[in-house]
Amino acid sequence: MKLSKAHLKTLREVPTEAEIPSHILLLRTGMIRKLVSGVYGFMPMGRRTLAKIENIIREEMDAAGGQEILMSAVQPAELWQESGRWYAYGPELWRLKDRNGRDFCLGPTHEEIFTDIVRNDISSYRQLPMNLYQIQTKYRDEARPRFGLMRSREFIMKDAYSFDRDEAGLDESYRIMYEAYEKIFTRCGLVFRPVEADSGAIGGSNSHEFTALSEVGESEIAYCEKCDMAATVERAACTDAPASDEEMLPLEEVYTPGTTTIDAVAEYLGLDTKQTLKALLFVKYNEQGEEDGYVAAFVRGDRELNMTKLVNALDIPEHAIEFADEERMHEATGCVGGFTGPVGLHDCTIVVDSEVPGLKNLCAGACKKDHHMKNVNYGRDYEADIVTDIKVLAEGEPCPVCGAPVKYARGIEVGQVFKLGTKYSESMGAYYKDENMENHPIVMGCYGIGVTRTMAAVVEQHHDENGIIWPISVAPYHVIITLMKPEDETQAAVAGRIYEELRRRGVEVILDDRKERPGVKFKDADLLGIPIRITVGRGAADGMIEYKMRRDADRTDMTVEEGIETAVKTVEAERFGGVKE
């Protein structure tokens, strides 16, 4: 491709709506084009990189035994109603009606569609195992789309689904996909970490998230350097504090004016926050969007509530709970904003963190304005409807596996794998017959990769102050030839010769033959992040060029032949991916 003929519009200024490097650079390079908030199109160079990522995924999925199909993004509501997710998925599900009033949605994922395929096409154990996948546009009506391709309302995703006879078969399919994902993200040039994750609205018994390490990532990871423990913070298990062996003291009500926070009451009474009990109050909603009861969650005063663990404990969708209006909740349950404790609370679901029953003589709200209770003890003074781990594993706390201090990191979720089990096959009637002609539910797995998000993650990990630094495996072009003076016949002839020879040898090359100043060309080459730059200038008459890798500061003078050979060898060595430091 000759740049003088290419559709390319780069920006010198940072777009006002862009906050993070990938969003800024993908807009500045003209690789993506915003249509409306959370919806982007891909211009020629952006589309080339996207295709490279898709092809890496296809190659590894095919090598792992996957078969590619393509389903519609428009899905009938009946299938989602069968699985129970028409309500459970929540407001992110983009719903629509046709002219006849029939309900549909734009698919955010395709578990129901693929389950419908196999229940109609698979009847015998001889047809299993099977893995089907697609690379397709998905839709989620995000409340706050942001960060460009990181959190958008329309995006490209690879989703695969495995179908097995039993749990042992699922374990094997899961292992194969897990290893395929490691190869995919390595080939894309990402530094990543697989971590245990919550299954969320997808469901299932077990899940791992593949996280590209980045300070701008929305995923927070808890990990241990002494063992293999790594999990998203929302999924990470916690170690309870040791149970106290002190004797229970008499319950005592105390006057605590204006102490509506844990820190305030602890300071007023001269207590450590670990000796207090924190209350968080919520209202639940049913499928019709009506209020469906109240929830009071209690954790030790210095702890933070983990909302993901709470909704899992309540077995409700994340969108079906929100903080309660405390005055309205007071009328129904007796709670008092800022002074709520478990003693005397009624007509609500009480959820207590797993370490609280072992603690003694805590200070909690008295459900009375300006009053707290001292020496509150579980079992004697109150009981809970649910006792389970609902706290956040904080940085520096003991690893739940080995006890070493936990560390935190941030990352970008680029893929996730799930063991669905029989969640969808049972609800939707996807069965197979065994050797004895007995019916069994098909055991399923689900495996997703955010293709467009992977593209953004690569930019986050591979850029500098001058622009993108694409790994060769996903670069829109491998080489850019910067022709200093297009009007110079000697330079133009040398640049043309290099261009044709690289193309002949399978190197993807773009020739910057625009009638622009050299400084503009160099800036655009750096901004676009093409991995190899060959500059044809005044040395052309002597058969010399300047060779530079985008990731390196050094420039090297070479003969034309040396430049061509070096570029070909570099591309051949790196086109299949791997992280290059």
Report which of 84, 82, 88, 81 is spatially closest to residue 318, judged by C-alpha positions: 88
What confidence tens digit (pLDDT) does each residue in 506-556 have? 999 999 999 999 999 999 999 999 999 999 999 999 999 999 999 999 999
Q: What span, in angstroms and rounded, lies between the C-alpha atoms of 395 and 19?
A: 27
Identify the residue whose tokens are 């003991």: 398
Task: Determine the 3-state secondary structure of 102 from DSSP.
Answer: coil
Report which of 537, 519, 535, 525 is spatially closest to residue 567, judged by C-alpha positions: 535
Q: What span, in angstroms and rounded, lies between the C-alpha atoms of 433 and 251?
A: 62
**Residue 34 tokens, joined:** 């915003």
Q: How far is CA 376 from CA 252, 281, 444, 493, in A?
A: 8, 19, 47, 87
pLDDT tens digits in sequence order for the chain, 581 residues long: 899 999 999 998 888 888 899 999 999 999 999 999 999 999 999 999 999 999 999 999 999 999 999 999 999 999 999 999 999 898 999 999 999 999 999 999 999 999 999 999 999 999 999 999 999 999 999 989 999 999 999 999 999 999 999 999 999 999 999 999 999 999 999 999 999 887 665 555 678 999 999 999 888 999 999 998 999 998 899 999 999 999 999 999 999 999 999 999 999 999 999 999 999 999 999 988 899 999 999 999 999 999 999 999 999 999 999 999 999 999 999 999 999 999 999 999 999 999 999 999 999 999 999 999 999 999 999 999 999 999 999 999 999 999 999 999 999 999 999 999 999 999 999 999 999 999 999 999 999 999 999 999 999 999 999 999 999 999 999 999 999 999 999 999 999 999 999 999 999 999 999 999 999 999 999 999 999 999 999 999 999 999 999 999 999 999 999 999 999 999 999 988 654 33
Strand partners for 210? 194, 415
What confidence tens digit (pLDDT) does each residue in 358-369 have? 999 999 999 999
The DSSP-derived string for 359-428 is --SEEEEEEETTEEEEEE-BTTTB--SEEE--B---TTSBPTTT-SBPEEEEEEEEEEEEEEETHHHHHH
Identify whether 486 is preceded by a cis peptide bond (ω within 30 of 0).
no
Q: What is the edge-to-edge ordering of all strands in the sheet holding 509-512?
A: 509-512, 479-483, 532-536, 544-549, 555-559
Q: What span, in angstroms and rounded, lies between the C-alpha atoms of 155 and 140?
A: 8
> Domains in the chain, start-ordered, CATH in brackets?
15-236+408-460 (3.30.930.10), 252-388 (3.90.960.10), 467-574 (3.40.50.800)
pTM of the model: 0.89
Report which of 488, 492, 499 is spatially closest to residue 532, judged by C-alpha positions: 499
Q: What span, in angstroms and rounded, lies between the C-alpha atoms of 340 and 337?
A: 6
